[in-house]
Amino acid sequence: MSVVPTTIAPEVEAAVAGFMLTQAQMTEVVERMTKEIKMGLARDTHPRAVIKCFVSYVQDLPTGKERGKYLALDLGGSNFRVLLVDLKSNTDIDIVSKSFVIASSMLSGPGKDLFDFIANCLADFCKEQRLQGEAIPLGFTFSFPLQQQGLTKGILVTWTKGFSCEGVVGKNVVALLQEAIERRGDLKINIVAILNDTVGTLMSCAFTSRNCRIGLIVGTGSNACYVEKTVNAECFENYQTSPKPHMIINAEWGAFGDNGVLDFVRTPYDRIVDKVTPNPGKQTFEKCISGMYMGELVRLVLVDLMAKGLIFAGERSEKIQTQWNFQTSYLSDIESDSPGDFRNCSKVISQLGLVGNHVRDKLHLRYICEAVSSRSAKLCSCGLVTLINKMNINDVSVGIDGSVYRFHPRYHDLLMFHMTKLLRPGIKFELLESDDGSGKGAALIAATAVQNQVSK
Q: Please state, in angstroms and rounded to a whole number, the distance separating the CA atoms of residues 100 and 83.
A: 11
Alpha helices in 280-324 (DSSP H): 284-289, 291-307, 318-321
Of all helices (H) and strands (E), which one includes residue 413? helix 411-422
Strand partners, 404: none
Strand partners, 397: 212, 430
CB 271 within 8 A of CB 217: no
CB atoms within 10 A of CB 33: 26
Q: Please state, in angstroms and rounded to a whole number, the distance separating the CA atoms of residues 445 and 200.
A: 8
Q: Which of 356, 371, 361, 166 is nearest to 267 (CA)?
A: 371
Helix, strand, coil % over all residues of the chain, rounded to 5: 45, 20, 35
Collapsing DSSP to helix, strand or coil, 13 comes out as helix
User: Could you list the active site residues?
Assistant: 81, 143, 197
CB atoms within 10 A of CB 221: 25
CB 33 within 8 A of CB 386: yes
Q: Please state, in angstroms and rounded to a whole number, the distance separating the CA atoms of residues 84 and 78.
A: 20
As a dihedral over the C-alpha atoms of residue 142, residue 102, residue 373, residue 209, rounded to 10 degrees, the angle is 40
Q: Please state, in angstroms and rounded to a whole number, the distance separating the CA atoms of residues 393 and 385.
A: 11
Query: How many H helices and E strands in the chain?
Result: 15, 13
Q: Please state, in angstroms and rounded to a whole number, the distance separating the CA atoms of residues 225 and 223.
A: 7
Of all helices (H) and strands (E), which one includes residue 257? none
435 alpha carbon, distance to own chain's centre = 15
192 alpha carbon, distance to own chain's centre = 23
Q: Please state, in angstroms and rounded to a whole number, the distance separating the CA atoms of residues 20 and 247.
A: 36
Cα angle, residue 283 at apex, residues 281 and 285 outer, rounded to 5°: 110
